[in-house]
């Protein structure tokens, strides 16, 4: 038995907590034995004093063990999970899962719903008529073994400690603490049952981490946690100063995923999906060289195997696979309006956060957890940084179901684009790759 004020004082003064002390705090808080005011004081002490890698690993494991631990041992082969720290038009998971499964990677993916300006994979998939994301553990495993991939919603029993702690962090100004962010993300990944983990840590205006240096620190922390927890982990640090893909919104991102799997997507979304797909192939032992793996993934797209795998996954999860060919089967917005440029030039910058918030307020995201999603609304970009803008070519297209919101959104979208009369270089997408052994900058 420990005395909570002494543990708070110890961390406040810069001391190191033992595994037993951290476990006691997490378990006691989840059981309701430690009140919010004491845990809030502890979180603030961590915010100012930090944690070393052993402490943050134990915090992560204690959080992971606070609820259900998914057992994927019945899934054949090595299971690799991928997590993104969140961004705008981040459709990577929708492309990556069928693409990786089409070359033999087994993907058992548990995803969440969106909150705020970043979309949730489950919300996007529920744009597809009939698509199911809730099923028993046995059916989930059966689907992965049968099709190669399955995407399910996170159980309410998965990492209850994170739900309680995040809610407390949100109202105590302790959200942006790297040990607390890292333990929140990694506890869910470890509880999710994967053998190995790929992380996409984004930085920029549209990301949680605004600075590259902070994103690198977070990525390194999570890689250390994963490896200390026996889950080999690789992290990429990627740009989110502008949207990743061209589509922001649920049904729109299903369309973009299908187009990318057919070889017609934007190069940024395609290249990131190929990079992560190649990493998954190497981690799962299917390939030993990342460049050869990319060639196989590209061939899967060219041959049509990738889009067929997408249809197979949709069908197996109760959805209509024809949506991958006939986009009119997806939810349709009442209004579609183009935002035309007032001048010619090159796109110098795109305010990803403004676009993400605009799409959210149109109904594509949630401001509160119980908000209802409108799957049909969103924004489709006409170009990205470095692209030429000409009269008659839209900067973006806005999809809406409310005429008043549409008028407001058109102005917001226009404000998000900054043009230059001079040619502008395209932005670098991948900045670093971090493993337990080293960090490679691009």
Verify whether residue 177 is a known catalytic residue: no
Verify whether residue 328 is a known catalytic residue: no
In the set 162, 195, 214, 374, the catalytic residue is 162
Verify whether residue 162 is a known catalytic residue: yes
CA dihedral 200, 203, 209, 210 (to 10 degrees): 180
In the set 23, 117, 164, 169, the catalytic residue is 169
Half-sphere exposure of 53 (CA within 13 A, CB side): 14
Verify whether residue 188 is a known catalytic residue: yes
In the set 83, 113, 164, 375, the catalytic residue is 83
CB 287 within 8 A of CB 279: no
Q: Which two tokens stand for residue 267?
A: 């190069």
In the set 184, 273, 284, 376, the catalytic residue is 184
In the set 82, 109, 188, 196, the catalytic residue is 188
Verify whether residue 375 is a known catalytic residue: no
Angle at 251 between CA 248 and CA 256, to 5 degrees: 65
CA dihedral 98, 100, 106, 108 (to 10 degrees): -50
Residues designated catalytic: 83, 162, 169, 184, 188
């Amino acid at each position: 038995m420990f005395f909570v004020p002494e543990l708070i004082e110890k961390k406040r003064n810069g001391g190191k907590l033992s595994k037993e002390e951290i476990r006691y705090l997490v378990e006691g808080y989840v059981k309701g034995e430690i009140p919010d005011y004491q845990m809030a004081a502890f979180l603030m002490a961590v915010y100012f004093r930090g944690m070393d890698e052993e402490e943050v690993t134990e915090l992560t494991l204690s959080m992971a063990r606070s609820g259900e631990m998914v057992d994927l041992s019945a899934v054949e082969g090595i299971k690799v999970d991928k997590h993104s720290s969140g961004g705008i038009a981040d459709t990577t998971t929708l492309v990556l899962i069928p693409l990786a499964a089409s070359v033999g990677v087994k993907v058992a993916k548990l995803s969440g719903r969106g909150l705020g300006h970043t979309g949730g994979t489950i919300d996007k998939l529920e744009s597809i008529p009939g698509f199911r994301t809730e099923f028993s553990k046995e059916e989930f495993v059966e689907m992965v073994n049968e099709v190669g991939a399955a995407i399910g919603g996170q159980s309410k029993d998965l990492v209850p400690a994170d739900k309680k702690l995040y809610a407390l962090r949100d109202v105590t100004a302790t959200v942006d603490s790297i040990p607390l962010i890292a333990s929140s993300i990694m506890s869910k990944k470890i509880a999710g049952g994967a053998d190995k983990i790929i992380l996409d840590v984004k930085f920029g205006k549209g990301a949680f981490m605004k600075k590259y240096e902070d994103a690198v620190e977070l990525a390194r922390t999570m890689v250390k946690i994963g490896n200390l927890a026996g889950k080999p982990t690789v992290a990429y640090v990627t740009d989110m100063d502008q949207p990743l893909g061209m589509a922001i919104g649920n049904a729109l991102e299903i369309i973009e995923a299908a187009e990318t799997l057919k070889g017609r997507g934007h190069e940024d979304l395609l290249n990131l999906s190929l990079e992560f797909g190649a990493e998954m192939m190497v981690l799962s032992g299917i390939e030993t060289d990342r460049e050869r793996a990319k060639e196989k993934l590209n061939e899967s797209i060219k041959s049509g195997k990738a889009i067929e795998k997408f249809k197979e996954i949709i069908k197996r999860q109760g959805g209509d696979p024809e949506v991958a060919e006939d986009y009119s089967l997806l939810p349709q917005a009442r209004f579609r309006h183009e935002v035309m440029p007032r001048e010619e030039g090159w796109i110098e910058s795109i305010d990803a956060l403004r676009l993400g918030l605009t799409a959210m307020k149109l109904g594509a995201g949630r401001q509160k957890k119980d908000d209802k999603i409108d799957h049909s609304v969103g924004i489709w970009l006409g170009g990205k940084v470095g692209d030429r803008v000409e009269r008659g070519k839209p900067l973006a297209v806005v999809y809406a179901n409310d005429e008043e919101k549409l008028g407001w959104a058109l102005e917001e979208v226009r404000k998000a684009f900054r043009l230059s009369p001079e040619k502008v270089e395209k932005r670098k997408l991948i900045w670093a790759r971090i493993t337990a052994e080293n960090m490679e900058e691009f």
